[in-house]
């Protein structure tokens, strides 16, 4: 089956400049990896350290619940960042947005590494932590749309699935960097780790941001955006135009993410807490399992992007959504054995299914919207979904676990519902819309 996200170019279109799509895709991958390293540090720290240092309640479950709530706060700011930077991407260009968002994220992450704890300054500590998490969410909310579109809009016809998957590799790379950082400092004794060791990964963000900036400023602007400017087809208020004219498609695009996003955060964030408290598994073993799953992601994401032109992006996406429904209960049944080999395999299989959807999102979502509002529309849809399906997932999972008397089945049922929503939205969106990428 051919890739339906890449219709033939018409004869009157301006020819593209000779720009290496590989260079653009690599720059998107490196910068996005650094952004997600910053963002995921908070998630790992929420599961392992923030509950004790910033929300000491005396009840480990309540402290973890509060820490996960602030983890979700960052997602609440992502639609705002997506709206602001998405609109700027349609007005000023994708490249400028990539540079600014990297600076915003890096500054917020390094500042978290300098924060005093609750024991040092009282309630001001969690307040400042929440504010910096909001800044993180604002930055990463604007980053994805620009990075994804840079890769997709530079890609040659018929290969948008592959090149669009390259910035998606930044998520597992960020997971490896952030989790690996905590694996290293986890070798410290508990007192040193809680005293200052946890700060090191956050402060390291400063150096990574410098590397990311040097790479991102070296790439050229999207040819589709430049053609839009040359032909004077930009709209005055792209955000308003996107919401007014494409709100149904934006909602469907957001729904396409529900399964992938919720599965990812249940497996990589909630499971760290559930595994240590409910199953008695070692923290280091779970971190290592998360690292292995992330390495598998890096290999499978570009593979699924590449084969989408052969098997059909729509067919692959719908199949993965259906599998996510079927795997929800088997995932927890396997995890509950407490065998780390089985736990690791369950994590890998579940994450790989989510990777099918994640790899294809840039090309599929980009094809749903015309270029003059594409950055605004994809950013809003993507980031609104991140709030309901991503940031709230660890909180919802922990809440369901507490509500049910520490039972796992409501969480599996929640994952099934997310999968059904994704299947329905993907079916409707790809059947009725698409073909806007040239």
Question: Any idea what the CATH number is for the domain that residue 377 is in?
Answer: 1.20.1250.20
How many domains are contained in the chain? 1
pLDDT score, position 434: 67
Residue 6 lies in a domain: no
Q: Residue 385: give the domain boundaries.
A: 21-432
Residue 7 lies in a domain: no
CA 18 to chain centre: 31
Domain assignment present for 30: yes
**What is the pLDDT at residue 9?**
44
CA dist., res. 131 & res. 291, Å (int): 29
Query: In this structure, what is the dihedral angle of CA atoms 333, 339, 342, 344, given to the nearest 10 degrees?
Result: 110
**4 found inside a domain:** no
Is residue 410 a contact partner of residue 400, using CB atoms and an 8 Å limit? Answer: yes
Task: Provide the residue-wise pLDDT of the chain in tens; the chain has 438 residues.
Answer: 444 444 444 433 444 445 678 888 888 888 888 888 887 788 778 777 777 788 776 666 666 667 767 766 777 788 899 999 999 999 998 889 988 998 898 889 899 999 998 888 888 888 888 889 889 889 888 888 888 998 898 888 788 899 999 999 988 888 888 878 887 887 888 788 878 888 898 998 888 888 888 888 888 888 888 888 898 888 889 999 999 999 999 999 999 999 999 998 898 888 888 888 888 888 888 888 888 988 899 999 999 999 998 999 999 999 999 999 999 999 999 999 999 999 999 999 999 999 999 999 999 998 899 999 999 999 999 988 888 887 788 888 988 988 988 889 999 999 999 999 999 999 999 887 766 665
Is 10 part of a structural domain of the chain?
A: no
Q: What is the pLDDT of residue 1?
A: 42
> Is 199 among the domain residues?
yes
What are the structure tokens assigned to 190, written together?
């508990």
- Identify the pLDDT of residue 255: 95
Q: What per-residue string of b and e applies to 236-269 under the rule 16 or more CB within 10 Å gives b?
A: eebbebbbeebeebbbbbbbbbbbbbbbbbbbbb
Do residues 346 and 249 lie in contact, with contact meaning Cβ atoms separated by under 8 Å? no
Question: Would 149 be classed as within a structural domain?
Answer: yes
Q: Which two tokens stand for residue 119?
A: 């024991």
**What pLDDT, on a 0 to 100 scale, did the predictor assign at position 219?**
83
Assigned domain for 16 exists: no
- Rounded Cα distance, 68 and 407, in Å: 19
pTM: 0.81
Residue 29 CB coordination number (10 Å): 21
Q: 194-203 burial, b if ≥16 CB within 10 A, otherwise e?
A: eeebbbebbe
């Amino acid at each position: 089956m051919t890739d339906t996200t890449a219709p033939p170019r018409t004869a009157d279109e301006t020819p593209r400049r000779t720009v290496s799509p590989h260079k653009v895709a690599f720059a998107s991958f490196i910068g996005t990896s650094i952004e997600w390293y910053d963002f995921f540090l908070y998630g790992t720290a929420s599961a392992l350290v923030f509950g004790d240092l910033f929300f000491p309640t005396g009840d480990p479950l309540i402290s973890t619940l509060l820490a996960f709530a602030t983890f979700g706060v960052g997602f609440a700011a992502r639609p705002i960042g997506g709206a602001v930077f998405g609109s700027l991407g349609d007005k000023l260009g994708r490249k400028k947005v990539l540079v600014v968002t990297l600076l915003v994220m890096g500054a917020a992450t390094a500042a978290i590494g300098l924060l005093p704890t609750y024991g040092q300054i009282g309630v001001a500590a969690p307040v400042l932590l929440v504010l910096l998490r909001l800044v993180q969410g604002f930055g990463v909310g604007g980053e994805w749309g620009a990075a994804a579109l840079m890769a997709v809009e530079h890609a040659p016809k018929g290969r948008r699935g592959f090149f669009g998957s390259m910035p998606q590799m930044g998520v597992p790379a960020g997971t490896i960097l952030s989790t690996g950082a905590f694996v290293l400092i986890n070798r410290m004794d508990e007192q040193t780790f809680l005293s200052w060791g946890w700060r090191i990964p956050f402060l390291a963000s400063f150096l990574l941001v410098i590397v990311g900036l040097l790479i991102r400023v070296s790439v050229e602007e999207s040819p589709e955006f430049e053609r839009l400017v040359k032909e004077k087809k930009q709209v005055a208020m792209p955000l308003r135009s996107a919401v007014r004219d494409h709100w149904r498609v934006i909602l469907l695009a957001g729904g396409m993410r529900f399964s992938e996003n919720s599965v990812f955060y249940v497996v990589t964030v909630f499971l760290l807490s559930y595994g240590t408290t409910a199953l008695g598994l070692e923290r280091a073993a779970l971190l290592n399992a998360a690292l292995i799953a992330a390495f598998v992601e890096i290999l499978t994401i570009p593979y699924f992007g590449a084969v989408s032109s052969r098997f059909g992006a729509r067919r692959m996406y719908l199949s993965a959504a259906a599998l996510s429904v079927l795997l929800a209960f088997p995932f927890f049944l396997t995890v509950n054995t407490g065998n780390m080999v089985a736990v690791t395999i369950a994590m890998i299989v579940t994450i790989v299914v989510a990777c099918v959807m994640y790899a294809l999102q840039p090309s599929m979502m980009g094809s749903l919207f015309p270029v003059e509002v594409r950055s605004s529309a994809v950013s809003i849809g993507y980031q609104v979904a991140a709030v309901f399906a991503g940031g709230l997932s660890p909180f919802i999972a922990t809440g369901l676990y507490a509500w049910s008397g520490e039972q796992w089945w409501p969480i599996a049922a929640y994952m099934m519902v997310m999968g059904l929503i994704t299947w329905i939205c993907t079916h409707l969106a790809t059947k009725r819309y698409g073909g806007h990428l040239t």
